[in-house]
Amino acid sequence: MPRALIVDDSRATRSALRRILSSLGIDCVEAEHGQHALAELEANQGDFAFVLVDWNMPIMDGFHLIKAIRAERQYASLPIVMVSAEIDQRQIARALMAGADEYIMKPFDRDILLDKLSALGLAEVG
């Protein structure tokens, strides 16, 4: 069963993402901020199909998390999707240049998430 790492300081957002992904047969691990996410990556030996990352979080934000993930060679090909309320086009461009593979603006729905995952070859949706 594929696994996803969901990184967001909002419990409600993590729950919504988990619900959608679980319906696709994807197991989920949650983290409240970037440092927690890095610990989960290490603890799980990078055993994730992809990571969903919020931008605005305490301790370590999503932008710095993406940079930290991309700095590690073993995660070079790990797909990262930023899921954020940040709508400034310059910030979105920064996230993509830092290494995010896709960007989803909050609020999102199931179809938007599935479209992005399908575009990355991460979910067979029908």
Q: Is 90 exceeded by the pLDDT of residue 121?
A: no
Question: Among candidates 56, 120, 119, 53, which has minimal Cα distance to 88?
Answer: 56
Query: 3-119 sits in which CATH class?
Result: alpha beta
The mean pLDDT of 78-98, rounded to a whole number, is 91
Question: Among candidates 59, 82, 96, which has minimal Cα distance to 13?
Answer: 82
CB-based contacts of 53, cutoff 8 Å, min separation 6: 7, 8, 34, 37, 62, 65, 66, 80, 81, 82, 83, 84, 100
Global pTM?
Answer: 0.92
pLDDT band of 28, cuts 50, 70, 90 = very high
Average pLDDT, the chain: 91
**Peptide bond between residue 107 and the one before it cis (omega within 30 degrees of 0):** yes
Please write the tens of the pLDDT for every residue from 4-22: 999 999 999 999 999 999 9
pLDDT of residue 124: 56
CB-based contacts of 14, cutoff 8 Å, min separation 6: 6, 8, 30
Instruction: Please give the structure tokens belonging to residue 90.
Output: 């310059």
Strand partners, 99: none
CB-based contacts of 80, cutoff 8 Å, min separation 6: 50, 51, 53, 66, 69, 99, 100, 101, 102
